[in-house]
């Protein structure tokens, strides 16, 4: 991992928070502007950035810049797929993205923790 432990932890916290907000948004009575921020934020800070970090171990700035484009592409293809198979349930299926972000952030957290404990030993 090229970034520091602190950067990883900060990024994991941000990604997890955004994912949790986006998951909670359709289920709760959030203010519309806050819900908009949560869902769009969870798309831009979506699973691709975390996956990119996990797969390539590049810097977070790279992961964020490249991940934003990939997350948008995922949303486009997911929408296209749902329309093509005539199964248009956008609110439920959009949740796939923040859920994936949450899971990937957990994997990253586990990896960061295990590598830091190895260093300590």
Report yes or no: 78 and 96 within 8 Å, Cβ to Cβ: yes
Task: Give the residues lining the site for other proteins (CB under 8 A).
Answer: 22, 25-26, 32, 35-36, 38-40, 43-44, 48, 51-52, 55-59, 61-62, 64-66, 68-70, 72-80, 82-83, 86-88, 90-91, 93-95
Shortest reach from residue 2's CB to other proteins, in Å: 10
Shortest reach from residue 121's CB to other proteins, in Å: 21
Shortest reach from residue 54's CB to other proteins, in Å: 9
- Maximal CA-CA distance, the chain: 54
Between the CA of residue 17 and those of 24, 39, 84, 98, what are the distances in Å? 10, 12, 32, 10
């Amino acid at each position: 991992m090229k970034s520091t432990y602190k950067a990883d932890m900060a990024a994991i916290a941000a990604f997890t928070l955004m994912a949790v907000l986006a998951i909670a948004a359709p289920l709760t009575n959030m203010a519309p502007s806050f819900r908009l921020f949560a869902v769009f934020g969870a798309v831009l800070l979506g699973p691709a950035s975390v996956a990119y970090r996990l797969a390539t171990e590049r810097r977070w700035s790279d992961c964020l810049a490249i991940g934003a484009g990939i997350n948008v592409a995922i949303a486009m293809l997911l929408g296209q797929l749902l329309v093509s198979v005539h199964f248009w349930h956008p609110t439920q299926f959009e949740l796939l993205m923040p859920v994936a972000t949450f899971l990937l952030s957990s994997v990253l957290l586990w990896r960061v923790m295990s590598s830091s404990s190895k260093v300590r030993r």
